[in-house]
Amino acid sequence: MELGEFLHQTQADVKANVQDRLGEGGGYPYPESVFAEVVMEHMSEIGMTFEPAVCHYTAKVGNATLRLSGYAVSDEQDQLDLFISLYAGADEIRHIPDSETKKAAEHCLRFLARSADGTLAAKMEESDDAYSLTLTIHGCYDKLDQIRIYVLTDRRAKAKNFKSREIRGKTVKLEVMDIERLYHHWSTGRPRDELTVDFNEVAGGPLPCIYVPGEMSEYDYALTALPGEALRFVYDKYGDRLLEANVRSFLSVTGKVNKGIRDTLRSAPERFMAYNNGIVIVTDELRLGRTADGGPGVLWMRGMQVVNGGQTTASLFFSQRKHPNEIDLRRVRVPAKIIVLKTPDPVAEEEFVANISKYANSQNNVKQSDLSANKRFHREVENLASTTICPDGIGRWFYERAAGSYKTMLARDGTTAARAKRLRQAIPPARKITKTDLAKYLNAWEQLPHVVSFGAQKNFVRFMDRMTTAHDRSAGQSVTLTEFKRMIAKAIIYRTTQKVTRGRYPAFQANVVTYTVAVVACQLGARLDLDRVWWQQELSSELRGQIMTWADKVHAELHRTANGRMVSEWAKKPDCWAAVRSATYAQSVVDIPELTAGVGAPLRTGSG
């Protein structure tokens, strides 16, 4: 697919989403907000940001315009991403002037600055959905280690980033996610291609190395030592995109700065290489040069990812930032093992990288569930998806066990235009489920909405902890066909809830959806015929209406019980689920076709 075709597909998706939301009676949705949601979700899936939330805000404060389309906050509230959408609805590739993207970034910067100093919250109504975000920014601003503003546009921008700005003592990075950059991410299935490091620029010349070409293997190999200042610079430029997704998840659990690393940097920087185990890097391409003494050296890398040593990498950066007068990274060298990937199959590559992470991280006790694309449960779900035909006798669902495998399947099997069309009709993107999608759907149904609210990576870890116990038995198939069909039924319930509530609430949509699904499971789960949902491949209008009614109640309860806290943070607490679950819900309509009369517990409508 070329860039122009990708633009047409993106616009079709936006228009279809707008029409869906109009059809469900949720009011007219802003197309720019729909576009922002599509792009933010994609950025979250590939690890460029955290769990995003749509939050449309526009205001004039004095003569200044403030705008916001969405945001994402890290679990520790030490990293913040803000998004602003510039949507033109272009049906052909059009350029957007840098002056326009800069102006949009300025509008978002003003929102940030006035939230940070507390003046914006004082001028806002508490009912405004951006109100709790401004309070959160004001409360956590001093401890923020990273702030980024992304301008999202369906046009092509010349500049993909601008010079960083200083706001109240914090550096704010300004980036543009235009249609071209989005297309490159879609076509590669990952953001690694953007990570290009030239050691002439960051280290003054090639890094001396031992290089072992893998003539008969799927990788080449190099050993080197990275200057601490160079590693800090690269992390400063790319942030968490430098760290492979499993490592990011690991870091979020263990914390950023290792005390031993910090103490060595302070007291014995020359001994860092002797004391530290080093880092492991995978890269898509490596170019050799010659060092000053004529030996081989690493000159350039494209697609660099740290798969082990993420804590070392982040600790160098944050320690030097917190103690600039005590730590001199020019005296530090970090041992590095570099794996140059040569695997053409993205599914095999993901499994290979996961195994590198697994064995390299074994000293740090990273759980197998964090590196689980090749676990038995996922292989069996993938196999069942590929062999189970939907009740219409034509279509099927696709389980994307490895990132990019859906795109690879389309390219591999859609060898002609006619075949590609039939394939997309039989297995449309709407029937693709990723590993983190499945974890979200099933944990919500298991009445763990507070766990789902922690975001895709942490929820996935908790999900795999459950699945490892329930499904990894020593013999026999662990996932049955019946179980698979009921998983799909739960996915249909979750996605239908997303659809009927989309555009209904200005912010915290993801939390409302997850909690609503948990309420449906709590109130109706024992009486709901999941096999019927599988056979129908959709929900009845009666059940959809019930979901909308309960979603409105869930939305109100989330805001009421948050007591001024940011709903997305409150939603992570078990107490939040306890409060929402105990609310009084309207009696369900009696003629919901999916309900099996007389089976299971009676409907719970009180707070008892």
Q: How far apart are CA 357 and CA 308, in angstroms?
A: 6
φ/ψ of residue 243, rounded to 5? -100, 130
Cα end-to-end span (Å), the chain: 56
Backbone angles phi, psi at 162, to 5 degrees: -125, 170
Angle value at C-alpha 265, between 264 and 270, nearest 5 degrees: 85
Distances (CA, A) of 403 to 45, 192, 346: 9, 13, 7
Measured distance CA(466)–CA(476) in Å, rounded: 19
The confidence score (pLDDT) of residue 399 equals: 94
Which token pair is 448? 């763990």
Residues of the chain with pLDDT under 70: 1, 20-29, 47, 187-193, 240, 244-258, 346-347, 358, 360-374, 403-404, 408, 411, 468-477, 503, 506, 589-590, 597-608
Task: State the DSSP string of 68-80.
Answer: EEEEEE-TTS-EE
- Say what the pLDDT of residue 366 is: 41
Residue (of 386, 498, 483) closest to 440 by Cα position: 498
Question: What percent helix, strand, coil does the chain show, rounded to 5?
Answer: 50, 20, 30
Can you give the pLDDT at residue 179? 93
Provide the percentage of residues in the chain whose pLDDT is more than 90.
44
d(CA 367, CA 250): 9
Average pLDDT, the chain: 84
Dihedrals phi, psi of 410, to nearest 5 degrees: -60, -40
- Closest CA relative to residue 434, chosen from 462, 406, 467: 406
Residue among 433, 380, 446, 451 nearest 45 (CA):
433
| b/e per residue 169-188 (b: at least 16 CB within 10 A) | ebebbbbbbbbbbbbebbeb
Using CB atoms within 10 A of its CB, is residue 89 exposed (0-12), middle (13-18) or buried (19+)?
exposed
Would you say 548 and 500 are in contact if contact means Cβ atoms under 8 Å apart? yes
Distance between alpha carbon 577 and the CA centroid of its chain, in Å? 23
